[in-house]
Amino acid sequence: MWKGMNLLRVLSVLFFMSAANSFGALTISNIKVTDLTDKRVIISWTTDIQADGRVHYGTDKDNLSLVRSDIRNGGSYYNHYVEITGLNPDTTYYYRVESNSVQSPRYSFHTPQETTVGLSYSIGGHVFDRNGEPAEGGIVYLTLKNWSDVVPVTSLIGWELSGGGTWQQRSDTSQWNTDLQPIVRGDIRDSGATVLNTRIQNYDVANGDQIDLFVRGPTPEDGTYSDVITATGSPQTVGDISLPVFYSSIIVSPSSDGMILRWSVASHVDNLGWYIYRKGEGESDFEQITDKMILDDPLRDDYAWIDRSHLRPGRYFYVIESVDIAGNRVKTDPIPVIVLARKLRTELLQNYPNPCNPETWIPFRLGDPGEVRIRIYNSSGALIREISLGRIEAGEYISKDKAVHWDGRDYRGEIVPSGLYFYEMEVGRIRFLRKMTLLK
C-alpha cells in the first residue's frame, strides 16, 4: 500500500538547500526535545549514515560536562534516542548532540515545575517497514492537537522501559507504546530542538481528541508516515502501520520549457497517481499546479512533469502528492529550488490548436525588445496574411491573451480553404518559420 513517502535524495540543478544541519561528512537533522517532564527528557535525532549517538548537557551553557548515550548502549543507527533522567524542575538545560564525533549547534530546554502524577493515557500499536518486517529502531511521535505548542511524546519501536528503569528490547520488535500524559506546553523553537517557557497543562485526554501521529522509519529507505487519530477516551491500540514506499530520486531542473520535475519510485503498489504543488518563498499555502492527476503506470518507475509557468527569479518549493486506491494522500517534504534570472531565447513556437478550424493562436518568446511581424503563407508559398505587432518588450507570449491570434482569414477577410500553411515570425533581421494545418 502506498501510504506515504520520504525522500532518498533531492537534487536541484539550480540550487539545493537542506533543512538538515551539515557538519562535514555526516549530516545531523531532525533534532527533537520530547517526553519532557520535571525530571526527564528524550532527545532524538537522525543521521544520514549509521553512527553512534550521545548528548552533552548541563545547566552552564559553556560547560556541557554531563553525557548520556543512546538507550541501546552502543551500536550505530540512523535514528538516535537518548533519555536523560535526574533533572531538576523549573531549570534550563543546554545540550549538543553528537554522532561519530560530529556535534550539532547548542540548543536548550526548560523543565516544567514539579509534575503532579495524574491520569495516564496509554496508546500503542505495531509498525512494519517497507519489506513487511518489524520496524525496530523507528520512532513514533505523538502530539495532542488541542494546542499548537504541546511538546511531543515518543516511543522507540521495539524497545521499552522496564519496571526497574532500564531499557530493553521488546519480544515483539514491531511494537510501540507511550503515554500522552502529563501534557507539557512550551515555546517550541528550532523545529523542536529548543523548548522554553514550559508549563503543565491540567487536562486529561478525552474521547474525540485529535492526535497527530508521525512515524520515522529505522532507515532512510523506510521513509515516514503521518496520520491523525482520534482518542477513544481510554487506553487504545492504533491499527498496524506499514511504512511507505520510498522515492529513489527526485530531481528538479530548468529547461527552455520551464521547471522539469523528475521522480523515480522503487515500488508503487495500489497507487493511482500524483498531483504537484508549488509555492513561492513567503507564501503561506501551496497551490496545486497540475490540472489533472498524473496517472500511475505499473510498468513504469520513472516519471516527469513540466511546470511551464513563467516564474520570477526567487526561491520556490515543490511538493509531490501521491494518491492511492483508498484515497489516502501523502505529500513529500518540500523540495526547494532557486530560480535565477535568465535571458529568454527568441523563438517561434507551435501554434495551437493544430490542426485548427479555422482560428488558432501563434505563441512565441522574445529575448529582446523588437519589431515583430507574423506572416502566413499557403502551401504554394504565396503570402495570404500579415499581422504586425509593432515594437514589443521581451517576454513570453504564449497564453491566448498574449499569443498572436489568426482567425483563418486571408488579407481580403475570406476564410481560407483546408490545407497546409506556413507561418513566419520576423524580428529585426531574424526570421523563424513553422508549418500548420487547417482542417474544416
pLDDT at 7: 34
Same domain, 163 and 66: yes
Same domain, 223 and 291: no
pLDDT at 241: 80
What whole-number distance in Å separates Cα of residue 370 and Cα of residue 388?
12
Q: Which long-range contacts (CB under 8 A, 24 or more apart) does 424-427 make?
A: 424/348, 424/374, 424/375, 424/376, 424/377, 425/348, 425/362, 425/364, 425/372, 425/373, 425/374, 426/372, 426/373, 426/374, 426/375, 427/346, 427/366, 427/370, 427/371, 427/372
Q: Is 381 part of any domain?
A: yes
Over 60: is that where the pLDDT of 20 sits?
Answer: no
Last residue of a domain, one of 242, 260, 276: 242
Domain count, the chain: 3
* Residue 196: CA count within 13 A, CB half-sphere: 8
- pLDDT, tens digit (0-9, with 9 covering 90-100), for 316-347: 999 999 887 777 777 888 888 988 876 778 99
Q: Which of 21-25, 314-318, 339-343, 367-371 has the lowest mean pLDDT?
A: 21-25
Last residue of a domain, one of 242, 267, 287: 242
Same domain, 237 and 309: no
User: Looking at residue 191, what DSSP letter applies?
Assistant: G
Confidence of residue 246 (pLDDT cuts 50, 70, 90): low
Sign of the C-alpha dihedral, residues 191, 195, 196, 199? positive
Cell triple for 375 = 506572416
User: Looking at residue 80, what DSSP letter applies?
Assistant: E
Last residue of a domain, one of 339, 362, 387: 339
Specify whether the backbone of 345 is left (phi greater than 0), alpha (psi in -120 to 50) or beta.
beta
Same domain, 309 and 407: no
- pLDDT, tens digit (0-9, with 9 covering 90-100), for 37-69: 999 999 999 998 999 999 999 999 999 999 999
Q: Which of 33-47, 299-313, 331-345, 363-377 has the lowest mean pLDDT?
A: 331-345
Confidence of residue 91 (pLDDT cuts 50, 70, 90): very high
Mean pLDDT of 279-303: 91
**pLDDT: which is higher, 162 or 2:** 162
pLDDT at 357: 93
Over 80: is that where the pLDDT of 79 sits?
Answer: yes
What whole-number distance in Å separates Cα of residue 369 and Cα of residue 365?
11
pLDDT at 120: 81
Q: Is 2 part of any domain?
A: no
pLDDT at 176: 96
Mean pLDDT of 411-439: 95
Over 60: is that where the pLDDT of 16 sits?
Answer: no
CATH of the domain at 198: 2.60.40.380
Same domain, 230 and 87: yes
User: Looking at residue 301, what DSSP letter applies?
Assistant: -
Same domain, 111 and 221: yes
What whole-number distance in Å separates Cα of residue 276 and Cα of residue 321?
6
* Structural domain span for residue 382: 347-438
Question: Which residues does 234 contact at the CB level (< 8 Å), separation at least 6?
Answer: 207
| Mean pLDDT, all residues of the chain | 88
Q: Is 312 part of any domain?
A: yes
Whether the Cβ atoms of residue 6 and residue 220 lie closer than 8 Å to each other = yes
